[in-house]
Structure 1
Amino acid sequence: MFTSEQVVLANAENVGELLPEIAPFLTVCRGQMSWHMPMPTTLGSTQPMLRVPLMREGYVLDLPHGVNGGVYAGARVFGASFKPGDLGLDIRESEQGENAERVAAIAPDLAMSSVAIHESSARVALRAVSRDRLPMVGALTVDPRVEGLWLNVGHGARGLTWGALLGEALAAELCGEPNVLPLSLGKALSPMRFFTG
């Protein structure tokens, strides 16, 4: 048995199982990310490696060195689908096509051939999305008898964008350090926004 004065729940779509009072404010959302190894040729021509991620209603980025010691080295990663309420974890060809369309919309010069789309791999995950599409980060003080309960959930499709910054902000708040966020943003992200008028 572990005890702690402070507990942070950062368990995405599963937070409602531990805190039923939070469940009404979150929707589970399926997301399928695609990748192609090696980086695809674009309609028959070789493309240079992207030096920065490109984003607009989706994303595309190249991983020349991979992640976690070389996993996906040389891959082009793109996506991702956004299917609220869909709990399926199966890889769907239709979403592979949607992800490829996102690449073409972001950067037409990177449009993939149908062969490259068919040969792409994918990964599916479930995400939690808050009712107002903002993460829920901060102290949860619904029950005055329970102190030291904190949330960091509801990032939806913006986990990579928000994750590091909001993790740092929550750690600073827990440790009594100066806030790294403007007060107005901290208030907008507070889980208590759903419980107070």
Structure 2
Amino acid sequence: MIREIVVYPDKRLKQISKEVERFDEELHTLLDDMYDTMMAKNGVGLAAIQVGVPLRALIINIPDEEGEQKRENLIEVVNPKIVESKGSITYTEGCLSVPEYYDDVERAEWVKVEFFDRFGNKRVIETDGLLAIAFQHEIDHLNGHLFIEKLSFLKRKKFEKEWKKRRKEKSVKKGKNK
């Protein structure tokens, strides 16, 4: 089932998500719905809070060389912790909760992440590149942070101005369509 994406500046995005305690059917349904939602919105990652559920769960599906996101490449991540990180890389990020906005963000180039899968089995991934960036971006969501918070003061001011203008334009269009 496709769920509604929580969009900035919704206060729920500032919420710190709670640890998952039960690896049950409810969690499995949430993860399945998150996958359907992410694919419908052309995302590569999605945190549970982005569909209004404040649990420490996220999914990532990086496109392969052909640009396809195969279900078997999906990584389901529950209660993640970045236990090690190295280096620095700047990458242009976007976010389903901040639609149609992209900007350069600096993050660790390599991360080691400990987490559980949907069945409660412990997993460890060491990765770099886009997958490392996606892990950091989605874990930020679980901690109540958005990528726009990593922008410089001037870029953030510019973003806020553009965002307000865009929201005003959308509400005017909605008004005309009524």
Question: Normalising to structure 2: TM-score of the pair?
Answer: 0.24
Which structure shows the bigger proportion of residues in strand conformation? 2
TM-score, length basis structure 1: 0.22
Larger radius of gyration: 1
Going by fraction, where is helix more abundant, 1 or 2? 2
